[in-house]
Structure 1
Amino acid sequence: MEVSAEVSEVPEVPEASVKAPMCPSRGVLEHVTSRWGVLVLAALVERSFRFSELRREVGGVSEKMLAQTLQTLERDGFVLRVAQPVIPPRVDYSLTPLGREAAEQVWALARWTERRTDEVQAARAAYDGARTP
């Protein structure tokens, strides 16, 4: 008696590549590296914040933009929103483990830009000076 083992074929899933035009990782990258996404993640690396505290911490962000950014980061699994059952209402925002990992990466990039800003400004001035008639 011959036994034949059926091998179920599992479709091969292509690796994520942000260089591929339709890769879903592009959307994630866009959220994490957006102007306000970077700053919100960087702030939340330090501790959890209430909305108004976070708005002060991330200088220059409008209330609407902060709310949209937090909602996007929460949807992506980076931010945890906890509504406290108290009066007046209190909502705290903190990082999930996934969010902490992402925040540490963008925080390193943010710190690097702080350290290298003088060099970038010098390069801009040299570039602009070479093109001025």
Structure 2
Amino acid sequence: MINSVTEIHDDELAGRLGAVITTATKQDVIETLPVLGNTQPFGVLHGGANAFLVEDAASRLAQLNAPVARIAVGTELNISQLAPNTTASAQAHAQVIKLTKKTLVAQVDIYDANNMLTATGRMTCVFIRQPGQ
């Protein structure tokens, strides 16, 4: 059973990383992640944490737009790391670029706590039948 798109549970990667969904509509998803605990040894936000934010925010956005009895699964993910983030948090803003009956392409921009763009990415999701349906 799929949990609510806006709920984050401790047994999900998002919960273990400390992610919080602050906005979730069919047009955009905003998700925040603490930097502390998600850094490289040098004290900057790990690039994999940025990739997680792109995938998680885009997947939630796609699921909000999924047809009935379908789930969104990612098929392509790319990310460009633009600047190091050593602030308290990272905020991902996912928006729909293209939506069809079978796919959604999302653009995700990631900002530090000072509102500086630190990473940007894109994810393509396809809508498949929900397992067991």
Q: State the TM-score, normalized to the length of structure 2.
A: 0.27
Larger Rg: 1
Q: State the TM-score, normalized to the length of structure 1.
A: 0.27
Would you tell me which structure has more strand in proportion to its own residues? 2
